[in-house]
Amino acid sequence: MQNPIVEVAGASWTGRSPQADWAEALEGGGVLYFPQMAFSLSPAEAALLRPEVRDPKSRNISQRAQPDAPVKGAVGTEAELATLSAMMLRYRTQANALIDQLFPNYTPHLRLEPTSFRPMQVESRTQSWRADDKRLHVDAFPSRPNRGERILRVFTNLNPAGVPRLWRVGEPFDVMAQRFLPQAKPYRAWQAAWLRRLRITKSLRSEYDHMMLQLHDLLKQNLDYQRTADQMEMPFAAGSTWVCFSDQTLHAVYSGQFMMEQTYFMAPQYQTHPERSPLGVLTRLTGRPLLGAPL
């Protein structure tokens, strides 16, 4: 398959001029890779690079975008939690600056989502098949319908021992969707209404959200596809940063430890090519609107 990784030189998070081919690559399901762009840590922050800082009851450590939001999913002394909060806020600031420069046309339309710190070793993590991110998948949220909004993410490998974070990056979204969409269970408006009424979902699940969740699950449970699908291994080096639309780029992480991540949402109409978004692709493949309840 065509290499989806676009390598960008330079170590600075600021001072870049946008290039049209970066947005083209991103909107085509590619990954922008900055191999020299590290997130530097103070000695106090570096001391937090240990798995014990995560609350065992939480999957990851996160901090919501609201001002003064507390860190969730972490344990430690008051001083350690304050240091962790400052570290995550500083990462958010640097990620914001990077995205502002790379994609200035996106910036007015982005909605800031939580910042996360992932200190656990991927290889030893035990999860259900549906939650197992070591399997190729596209991101979709079971409890939080996003009605076609893009999921833009910035990742940075913090590993102090120089260990890369190993990803597999899969085939184009439209190729995958053509294969798996016929296997998807049909959308039922009454089921979506009940999920909302029971507060299992935070808003009404659209047909688009249903399809994305179906694709997520169909990919992860198909072990033959996981083994034989067109894909490539990508080691993201310690001290590197990468960016992708994680609802479009088929990806799996199967090795690594200590990562920072910043998420943004954006309506697809603000892309350079809205028709290349998952909503655009699925609408074309089905031949009908997917954001309103079907008749």
CA nearest neighbour of 83 among 122, 57, 112, 117:
117
The model's confidence at residue 282, banded by pLDDT at 50, 70 and 90, is very high
Q: Two tokens at 291?
A: 């954001």
- Supply the mean pLDDT for the chain: 95
When pLDDT is averaged across residues 53-73 and rounded to a whole number, the result is 92
207-233 pLDDT, tens digit per residue, is 999 999 999 999 999 999 999 999 999
Check residue 67 and give its pLDDT. 78
- 267: burial class by Cβ within 10 Å (0-12, 13-18, 19+)? middle
CA nearest neighbour of 267 among 256, 257, 259, 278:
278
What is the pTM (predicted TM-score) of this model?
0.95
Check residue 236 and give its pLDDT. 98
Q: Are 258 and 160 within 8 A, CB to CB?
A: yes
Evaluate if residue 294 carries a pLDDT over 80. Answer: no
Check residue 125 and give its pLDDT. 80
For the domain 5-138+149-171+232-271, what is the CATH superfamily, name and number?
Jelly Rolls (2.60.120.10)
71-125 pLDDT, tens digit per residue, is 999 999 999 999 999 999 999 999 999 999 999 999 999 999 999 999 999 988 8
The model's confidence at residue 295, banded by pLDDT at 50, 70 and 90, is very low
When pLDDT is averaged across residues 174-184 and rounded to a whole number, the result is 97
CA nearest neighbour of 33 among 212, 164, 144:
164
- Distance (Å, whole) CA 293 – CA 205: 9
The model's confidence at residue 293, banded by pLDDT at 50, 70 and 90, is low
